[in-house]
Amino acid sequence: MRNPRTRIGGDVCDTLVTFCYYSTFLMVPAVTQASVSAPLRRWPALVGGGLLNVALGTYYAWSVFIPALEHEFHWTRTQTSLVATIDMVMLASMFMVAGFIQNRVGPRAVATVGGLLFSGGLFLASFIHTLPMLYLTWGVMLGAGLGFGYLAPITVGSKWFPNQRGLVNGLAIGIFAAGSGIFGPVAGWAIPLIGWRATFQALAGLFFVFTMVGAALMKDPPDSYQVVPSSKAAAKPRPLNVDVPTSHVLQTPSFYLLWIAYALGTTAGTMVISQLGPFAQSAGYTTFAFTVGAIGSASGRFLSGWLSDHFGRLFTLRGVIVISMIATPSLYLWREDPALFYVLLFLVFYCYGTQLSVYTALAGDFYGTKYLATNYGLLLLAWGFAGVMGPVIGARVFMGTGTYQYAFFGSALLALAALANLTIVRAPSASR
């Protein structure tokens, strides 16, 4: 027979774990009896999503490997930079494809495929000797893994944490951005010691473990799953609790307004971000600018996601777009002042990162979570569009004018156009 003291002690520990999880990590002020066991059932979704995203986000560190590859194969910067563009296009397009598949086979299988493609592409890239093989392994294969692997943490987290959707999405996407900040320096340290091929292989093995464990933890809640909101959360206006199929979403004006706003807002960001290296160097700054930018992007994804839970998605997006309109041209004007340069650089990246997390949560608010995989997949194509057009526009403007001024001021105009769309758009509940 079980010792009563042991049973009581265990109950007390369970209660403390539940309370701490809610009050410190999820910032939820109260726990009701009906939801007391929810954190113990749903925390694996956060752990799994973190393991997946910290591995997948390392693709942002591609630039760490460029010098070694260019030195060995005598490739140009234009040739090696195309890898990042392929990755971004594959992520956006495969995310949508994975969404249709996930609706049929579930998130665990999709995340597993993503992890296999990502780690497999990285491993096979260690054997390349030609540029087409680099594009096929690190570009197409690894990029497809990004699309499949990036999907599950967002959709699964949104379903397990419907009352903290912005915070959870911001956490997942923020960890994705932080991956390069963790493993980029590790790769930079390892390449001179063991070479880029062995570094690829070591990271591939590590990321295989990360992604397989993370994928195993990806599981949707049961259909009967409900979370009882706290009294403060219950008093707030709730989004329309309707799951809109993707075919119907494409018939709503709100989707196209959001798509255009997302495309314009992130194009404004990528147009400037893509020029950061030469711009910072021309102004006399070191690679520390990339560190500040990464911190700003990760902060925007997490903090603004949390803010959007409390102040509303559209309000948060409109606010950061206004800040972006001011900060981007100011970054060019006050580039010679180190303090202002780093503050404004942080704000530019913060505004860019905000859009990636808040639009994710907004899609769930507008159209529900049941079809979020495909609905947000279509919306994410706007970010893929920005990933291609932003750097192209920024580079051509600089080549045509010989200055970064027009790219930075043009970015503010694109942000203004995005703000106009976000001012017009209304949630489906408000337009019915």
Task: Identify whether residues 173 and 45 lie together within a single domain.
Answer: yes
pLDDT of residue 237: 52
Is residue 31 situated within a structural domain? no
Residue 205, domain CATH = 1.20.1250.20
* Summary count for the chain: helices (H), strands (E): 19, 0
Q: How many residues does the chain have?
A: 432
Is residue 401 situated within a structural domain? yes
- Name the nearest CA neighbour of 248 among 375, 417, 333: 375
- Residues 160 and 45: their CA atoms lie apart, in Å, by 8
Decide which of 200, 216, 232 is a domain's last residue: 216
Residue 2's CB: how many other CB atoms inside 10 A?
7
- Name the nearest CA neighbour of 295 among 182, 189, 388, 404: 182
Task: Identify whether residues 309 and 398 lie together within a single domain.
Answer: yes
pLDDT of residue 235: 47
Q: Give the confidence band of 30 by pLDDT, cuts at 50, 70, 90.
A: very low
User: Is there a contact between 386 and 229 (Cβ–Cβ < 8 Å)?
Assistant: no
- Name the nearest CA neighbour of 394 among 267, 263, 264, 296: 267
Query: ∠357-240-298 over CA atoms, to 5°?
Result: 10
The mean pLDDT value for 149-169 works out to: 83
Range of the domain at 174: 41-216
User: Is there a contact between 152 and 114 (Cβ–Cβ < 8 Å)?
Assistant: yes
Task: Identify whether residues 277 and 141 lie together within a single domain.
Answer: no
pLDDT of residue 417: 95
Secondary structure E strands in 326-409: none
Is residue 77 situated within a structural domain? yes
Decide which of 216, 232, 256 is a domain's last residue: 216
Most confident of 29-33, 166-170, 283-287, 383-387: 383-387
Q: In terms of DSSP H, where are the helices of 57-164?
A: 62-73, 77-105, 107-125, 131-134, 142-160
Is residue 10 situated within a structural domain? no
User: Is there a contact between 298 and 177 (Cβ–Cβ < 8 Å)?
Assistant: yes
Is residue 283 situated within a structural domain? yes
The tokens describing 99, both together, are: 């969404």
Task: Identify whether residues 56 and 175 lie together within a single domain.
Answer: yes
pTM of the model: 0.75
Task: Identify whether residues 292 and 380 lie together within a single domain.
Answer: yes
Q: Is the pLDDT of residue 430 over 60?
A: no
- Residues 25 and 425: their CA atoms lie apart, in Å, by 32
Secondary structure E strands in 199-269: none
- Name the nearest CA neighbour of 320 among 335, 304, 344: 304
Reported for 194-197, long-range contacts at CB under 8 A and 24+ positions apart, including other chains, are 195/68, 196/65, 196/68, 196/69, 196/72, 196/126, 197/126, 197/127
Is residue 25 situated within a structural domain? no
- Residues 119 and 142: their CA atoms lie apart, in Å, by 7
Is residue 49 situated within a structural domain? yes
| Separation of first and last alpha carbons in the chain | 60
Question: What does each C-alpha distance from 46 to 13, 157, 215, 371 come to in angstroms?
Answer: 21, 7, 11, 20
* DSSP for residue 369: S
Question: What does each C-alpha distance from 50 to 62, 178, 371 come to in angstroms?
Answer: 20, 10, 22
Q: What are phi and psi of 19, to 5 degrees?
A: -65, -45
Task: Identify whether residues 406 and 262 lie together within a single domain.
Answer: yes
Residue 112's CB: how many other CB atoms inside 10 A?
20
Task: Identify whether residues 65 and 102 lie together within a single domain.
Answer: yes
- Residues 49 and 297: their CA atoms lie apart, in Å, by 19
- Residues 59 and 114: their CA atoms lie apart, in Å, by 13
> Over the stretch 298-349, which tens digit does the pLDDT of each residue have?
889 888 888 988 899 999 999 999 999 999 999 999 999 999 999 999 999 9
Task: Identify whether residues 176 and 69 lie together within a single domain.
Answer: yes
Is residue 225 situated within a structural domain? no
Task: Identify whether residues 405 and 263 lie together within a single domain.
Answer: yes
Q: What are phi and psi of 127, to 5 degrees?
A: -105, 5
Task: Identify whether residues 74 and 132 lie together within a single domain.
Answer: yes
Task: Identify whether residues 75 and 122 lie together within a single domain.
Answer: yes
Q: Is the pLDDT of residue 147 over 80?
A: yes
pLDDT of residue 241: 60
- Residues 8 and 170: their CA atoms lie apart, in Å, by 37
What sign results for the dihedral spanned by CA atoms 219, 220, 222, 225? positive
Task: Identify whether residues 131 and 247 lie together within a single domain.
Answer: no
> Over the stretch 354-399, which tens digit does the pLDDT of each residue have?
998 899 889 988 998 888 888 988 998 998 888 888 888 887 888 7
pLDDT of residue 144: 96
Number of domains in the chain: 2
The mean pLDDT value for 101-118 works out to: 93
pLDDT of residue 128: 95
